[in-house]
Amino acid sequence: MIGVVAVPEGPIWDDFLTVSARIGGDVGLVQGAGGNTSLKDGATMWIKASGTWLADAATEPVMVPVDLAALRGRVLSGDLMESEIAAMTLPGGPAGLRASVEAPFHALLPGRCVIHVHCVDTIAMAILADGQARLAQRLPGVAWHWQPYVKPGVRLTMAMRAAGADRAAIIVLGNHGLIVSADTPLEAEELIADMRHRLGGDIAPSQAAMPALPALEGTGYAPAQVPDGHDLALSQALCALAGNCAIAPDFVVFFGPSVPILQPGPDLPARLSALSAQPLPLNAVVLVEGQGALIRTDAMRGTEALLAGYAQVLKRYLSNGGGEIRYFSPAECAELLNWEAEKYRQAQNRSGQGDA
Ligand SMILES: [Zn+2]
């Protein structure tokens, strides 16, 4: 019988919460409830709970304890099931919260502190068909591991384990993001900063505030609050790219497999009303070409942040010189949305892909 786990004390725990909040507050690293951090403390691993926001880590209890030996043992034996992860959460954390389905790779990696982020600079490279080779050019002398895309969760952890990813302190996840593993939270944060430095650089600042749009009342949409989002509609180069958002898991989960691009005109309100009648996450974001980005008033919390991250990924991709993007297949989109492939095809038809 395992008793209630005491919340750790001391500088490393304080650093863990501070670093978690700092990373969570940076939309270039974490958008909404995405990303997660963990700290191993003896037989326990503390990890961000599913559905909570890293940005809240310094002010709210968002970390839950997990039985590290049990989880790691099941990862190493290769027979862990996704449904078992939540039950490995130990008493001692905030009531009602459970470990994330990404907890297994935190248990697999040996570093005391593991941080996983949806770093826009990393994603802009990791969506490329030749992402591994392009990253290798940018990361001379860095010991890093390239993990081709696998659906997040237990399957991703098993693929990482099979490939020996646990020997690297820096892991780039194809079409997904970045994981770092270090002895301390500050060292992990430093690894992320170094990757951004190597993969980033100046990108064009946001173009403008939202221009005047026709009356949106009753359409189920409102202008996006994040300026970056409007750039997707105002820049021709970005608008040409933005319709197919099937480049990283959270964009699909929050926006659906595509972002409708509409032309301005008198029928715009009627077309918006039709789009907002579809089940979420379909059409959560639409672009009005040359005007701005709109978000459904019933969109999931975090959609604004995801839109900002999406715009930053595409801007970074263009400033890197473009290149062939590896888009998710319909089957990969369907599994992210927990849909049958047939439901995906029907939704694609209803949402009017290519509509414009
Ligand atoms: Zn992730």
Residue 269 alpha carbon to ligand 1 centre in Å: 35
Residue 176 alpha carbon to ligand 1 centre in Å: 6
Is there a single domain that holds both residue 152 and residue 104? yes
Beta strands in the chain (DSSP E): 36-41, 44-48, 63-67, 113-117, 144-147, 170-173, 177-182, 221-223, 261-262, 285-288, 292-296
Residue 339 alpha carbon to ligand 1 centre in Å: 19
Q: Give yes or no for a cis peptide into 94 (omega within 30° of 0).
A: no
In a domain, 216, yes or no: no
Is there a single domain that holds both residue 242 and residue 174? no
Residue 116 alpha carbon to ligand 1 centre in Å: 7
Q: What is the pLDDT of residue 354?
A: 37
- The answer to whether the beta carbons of residues 115 and 189 sit under 8 Å apart is yes
Residue 49 alpha carbon to ligand 1 centre in Å: 13
Is there a single domain that holds both residue 25 and residue 102? yes
Angle of helix 303-319 relative to helix 227-234, nearest 10 degrees, comes to 50
In a domain, 39, yes or no: yes
Is there a single domain that holds both residue 253 and residue 187? no
Per-residue pLDDT of the chain (356 residues; tens, 9 = 90+): 456 788 888 899 999 999 999 999 999 999 998 999 999 999 999 999 988 999 999 999 999 999 999 999 999 999 898 888 888 899 888 888 889 889 999 999 999 999 999 999 999 999 999 999 999 999 999 999 999 999 999 999 999 999 999 999 999 999 999 999 999 999 999 999 999 999 987 676 676 666 666 678 899 999 998 888 999 999 999 999 999 999 999 999 999 999 999 999 899 999 999 999 999 999 999 999 999 999 999 999 999 999 999 999 999 999 999 999 999 999 999 999 986 656 655 665 555 443 33
Q: What is the pLDDT of residue 356?
A: 31
* d(C-alpha 120, C-alpha 105), whole Å: 21
* Domain extent at residue 241: 221-350
pTM score above 0.95: no
Is there a single domain that holds both residue 273 and residue 332? yes
- The answer to whether the beta carbons of residues 247 and 313 sit under 8 Å apart is yes
Is there a single domain that holds both residue 225 and residue 129? no
Question: Pseudo-torsion of CA 212, 214, 219, 224, nearest 10°?
Answer: -10
Q: What is the pLDDT of residue 17?
A: 98
Is there a single domain that holds both residue 195 and residue 227? no
Residue 177 alpha carbon to ligand 1 centre in Å: 6
Number of domains observed in the structure of the chain: 2
In a domain, 287, yes or no: yes
Is there a single domain that holds both residue 37 and residue 147? yes
Is there a single domain that holds both residue 98 and residue 18? yes
Residue 22 alpha carbon to ligand 1 centre in Å: 17
* d(C-alpha 295, C-alpha 129), whole Å: 30
Is there a single domain that holds both residue 176 and residue 32? yes
Residue 213 alpha carbon to ligand 1 centre in Å: 34
Residue 93 alpha carbon to ligand 1 centre in Å: 22
CATH number for the domain including 54?
Answer: 3.40.225.10
